[in-house]
Chain A
Amino acid sequence: MPKPIDELIVQETGLVSREIFVDEDLFKQELSHVFARAWLFVAHEDQIVKNGDYVVSKMGTDTVIVTRDMEGEVHVLLNTCTHRGMRLCRNDMGNARTFSCPYHGWSYSMDGRIVETPGDLAGVPGHATYYHGELDKKDWGLVRAPRVKVYKRTVWASWDPDAPEFEDYLGDMRQYLDFALDGRDGSPGNNEMIGGILKWRVPSNWKFAPENFIGDNYHDISHRSVDLVGINPSGGTGRRDEEPDEVTTLGFPKLGHGVIGEMPYFEEPEFQPQWQGNPEVAEYYRRCHEQRVERFGDQPRVSMTVGTIFPNMSFHGRQPRTIAVFHPISPTEMEMWRIFLVDRDAPDAVKDMARHYHLSYSGPGGLTESDDMENWSYATDSSRGEISRSIYFNYEMGLGHAREVPHLEGAVENGVFTEENARIFYKRWAEFMKAGSWDELHPGAGPGPDRRRAAEPTANVETK
């Protein structure tokens, strides 16, 4: 039996037990305490544009159908027939107003004119005869996620009816998510998904990935080889084009989210030429910058590079601009998904250059990402041993140096090189694991974060 959660995650000293990356019982508890409770990213609206469109996704180890009904409403339904469990939909995507089970033919309708609620059981072969008309179809509709939220073209769901509103779940982290989902010129929700999701299996515990994306600037050495080769879109050295150097890490201790990004600011930083590999594309990004200057004026705004929405959704806001989701398969295996975003109204040349850059950067074939997965999988593997699993990972860096952030509710700022955000992630994970319900996860005056006492400022804030 694993130790109590408070011995696995030792907050005061920044220790995290290796057990949480390999233990079967803890994994089961994660599925019920974290994945069945939290808001999870399930789809992008470009996958379900028309009424009747559906796409199959995952929530924890459950497969779900994300579908747009005949009235245009989005539903998230458990992808298993309520009769005898057959996986109802074995396609990844398509268009259907009825899902008919291949096993005994029960069918479920997405049309509110045929059933009371889309997803309800519509047809049962032999209902009048074999069932003597006694089976109550209303009781046997598809199991549905009670909470679904479409947010700036992304679709999120939670299995817990008591989960806070999605916006409260995000807190002020929402501003950073907005940066990724808005257009490069700051136009709200201006994003488009490039067709197809990269899906691949990694022999790693799922937590390594969101933790890495929350602010592990320290692991740059992993990417030395690609930095040497240079794949940035302007044709120079390094992985990416020049980015603002005001970068720090910010975390939300009461929410578990974190980001590598900028503190709220009131004036656009000097324009840095980007995507110089193609003049038309470079010009587009220059125009976007001008439009940002005009749009935001002296209003506060944020920008970011990578971040994680607790528990398993990470995103890149600049380049490559992507969404990554880490689905648990077992304690020692996950399935990674990657979606690439571009500005919806960008010229084709811009979209194509972004697409090609994303591909060469991210995913199993990406020059950068392939090395990340090598780290996570061999860290998982070497946590399995009887002796190795009994020791702790060290998350001590920057302990006690978090500083309160003005203009962002409940956020702390930690500097570029720190493990504060990872500690925040595992603190929130521990809270979910211990809690019996959402009551314990947002105690007091509601789900929003409250201000944390400011820690002492550090003398030097390192920048990248």
Chain B
Amino acid sequence: MSNLAEIELLHEVTQFFYHEADLLDYREYAEWLKLLHPEVRYFIPLVRNVPRMRDNEFTREQQDNAWMDEGYATLEKRVKQILTNIHWAEEPPSRVSHLISNTVLVQVEGEPGAREVTTRSRVFVYQNRIDDEVNHFVGKRIDTLAETEHGWLVKHRTVHLDQSVLLAKALTVFI
């Protein structure tokens, strides 16, 4: 890929992430669901304190425990639950802001129009609810986006949260 093509692609991808963050922060959950690939996998592993040379710091997708390890069906249920307006952990709604940064292209496959792009980013999600309840979800996000006739869709997302003990009472926000 030429330098210019790479810059264009990176621009497209980051604009996609900002758009996605906007939908979440402005609580357009139904619209947000449309950005997910039907075969999406959304995975937030547990992090453990282990010696540096060990490879078991993160729990394994579709095998171990995790903060979340979901396909489309459960993500859709999460949205539906919020939209019942009686999901008390999100009622009254939290105030949430997503900051996405440091996005780099890791891998690009396929031809324009049907590409799959893997990226790495940092993510900071600020959640504030009721009076003084504040949660920070900070970490590294690895996304695989698929280019389809409906535009880019999230096909795979892994979030490596930088907390081994989650310092939040609930994880009701999408990261």
Contacts and interface: CB of A to CB of B under 8 A. Distances in A.
Q: Which of B60, B169, B171 has the most CB of A within 10 A?
A: B169
Contacts of A92: 48-50, 164
B86 A224 contact: yes
Given A91-B50, A225-B84, A196 B166 contact: no
Interface stretch (A168-176, A360-368, A412-420, A436-444): A360-368
For the side of the interface on A, what is the size category?
Answer: 35 or more
A93 B59 CA distance: 13
A371 B89 contact: yes
Nearest to A338: B65
B67 interface: yes
Interface string B66-79: 11111000100110
Interface string A342-371: 000000000010011001100111010111
Interface in A186-205: 194-204
B2 interface: no
A229 B81 contact: yes
B168 A364 contact: yes
A377 B171 CA distance: 14
B114 to A, nearest CB: 30
Contact of A367 (B67, B78, B166, B168): B78
Given A196-B64, A231-B77, A364-B171, A93 B70 contact: no
B67 A363 contact: yes
Interface string B107-148: 000000000000000000000001001000000000000000
Contact of B167 (A195, A201, A355): A201
B77 A367 contact: yes
Nearest to B90: A370
A198 B50 contact: no
Given A92-B48, A93-B48, A335 B88 contact: no
A90 interface: yes
Given A93-B48, A373-B170, A374-B89, A196 B70 contact: no
A365 B51 contact: no
A206 B95 CA distance: 27
A94 interface: yes
A225 B88 contact: yes
A237 B31 CA distance: 25
A226 B89 CA distance: 12
For the side of the interface on B, what is the size category?
Answer: 35 or more
A326 interface: no
B170 to A, nearest CB: 4
Contacts of B15: none
B84 A90 contact: no
A222 B88 contact: yes
B150 interface: no
B46 interface: yes
Contact of B65 (A194, A204, A224, A373): A194
Given A93-B50, A365-B44, A195 B171 contact: no
B19 interface: no
A284 B12 CA distance: 48
Contact of B48 (A196, A200, A202, A228): A196
A371 to B, nearest CB: 5
B63 interface: yes
A365 B169 contact: no
A341 to B, nearest CB: 11
A225 B86 CA distance: 6
A364 B165 contact: no
A91 B49 contact: yes
A198 B67 contact: yes
A201 B51 contact: no
A94 B57 CA distance: 11
A338 to B, nearest CB: 8
B165 A335 contact: yes
Contact of B49 (A90, A230, A365, A378): A90
Contacts of A367: 77-78, 81
A195 B170 CA distance: 21
Contacts of A94: 50-51, 54
A355 B70 CA distance: 11
Contacts of B172: 365, 370
Contacts of B81: 225-226, 228-229, 367
Contact of B59 (A196, A228, A356, A360): A196
A352 B86 contact: no
Interface of A: 90-94, 194-204, 222, 224-226, 228-231, 335, 340, 352, 355-356, 359-360, 363-365, 367, 369-371, 373-375, 377-378
25 contacts: A91-B49, A92-B49, A93-B50, A195-B59, A198-B166, A200-B167, A200-B169, A201-B165, A224-B84, A225-B81, A225-B88, A228-B86, A231-B77, A352-B62, A356-B69, A359-B69, A360-B74, A360-B77, A363-B171, A364-B169, A365-B172, A370-B87, A370-B89, A370-B170, A375-B88
Given A229-B84, A355-B65, 5 more contacts: A90-B49, A352-B62, A359-B65, A365-B171, A370-B89
